[in-house]
Amino acid sequence: VFQYSLPVASIVANFTPPSDGKPSLLTHDEVETLFHEFGHIMHQTLTRAPYASLSGSATAQDFVEAPSQMLENWVWNKQILARISGHYLDNSKKLPDDVLNKMLEAKNFNQGYFYTRQLVLGLTDMTIHTQQGAVDVDATYDKTYEELLG
Ligand SMILES: [Zn+2]
């Protein structure tokens, strides 16, 4: 007899522990990790798939990180950060805009190069695996790199 079981998931992670009379104060990086993993929790628990083997992270490999990536973006949003953060003794003291702006600049630094290089790697792979006969891997990479990055 088929019986639907509600999905159950948990996050097992290492975060900054409480210390010196202070509660656990997560770094921004840890908050991003928490949101990322919570994306997996949402993916695992909001399913209505009839079989566990077809639900949650048992999905197309290129989609498995999508919910987590979406939630990660929220920790870089000023309004979201204002709602979820503040000084632990005075929650009205929020992360200053200039600090968040510097964090965003650091996060975005070099992203054009990073993603263009990812494109080089993907196109090189596609080129190598769609050619007939012998393939010069180094020449294919060099040509693709030259075309996209100079
Ligand atoms: Zn993930």
Rounded to the nearest angstrom, the distance between the alpha carbon of 64 and the centre of ligand 1 is 7
What are the pLDDT digits (tens) for 94-125?
Answer: 888 899 899 989 999 999 999 999 999 999 99
Output the CA torsion 52→57→60→62 (10° steps): 180
d(CA 110, CA 67): 24
Torsions phi, psi of 5, nearest 5? -110, 130
Quick check: is 37 catalytic?
yes
Rounded to the nearest angstrom, the distance between the alpha carbon of 10 and the centre of ligand 1 is 13
Instruction: Give which of 104, 93, 91 is closest to 28, Cα–Cα.
Output: 104
Which two tokens mark 34?
């928490």
- Residue 26: count of CB within 10 angstroms of its CB: 14
Instruction: Provide the residue ranges of all domains of the chain, joining segments of one domain with +.
Output: 110-150
What are the pLDDT digits (tens) for 50-76?
Answer: 888 888 888 888 899 999 999 999 999
Rounded to the nearest angstrom, the distance between the alpha carbon of 118 and the centre of ligand 1 is 19
Q: What is the DSSP string of 93-108?
A: -PPPHHHHHHHHHHHH
- Among the listed residues 30, 32, 37, 146, the single catalytic one is 37
Residues in the chain: 150
Which two tokens mark 134?
């012998």
Query: Is the pLDDT at 4 greater than 90, yes or no?
Result: no
Torsions phi, psi of 18, nearest 5? -60, 150
Rounded to the nearest angstrom, the distance between the alpha carbon of 65 and the centre of ligand 1 is 5
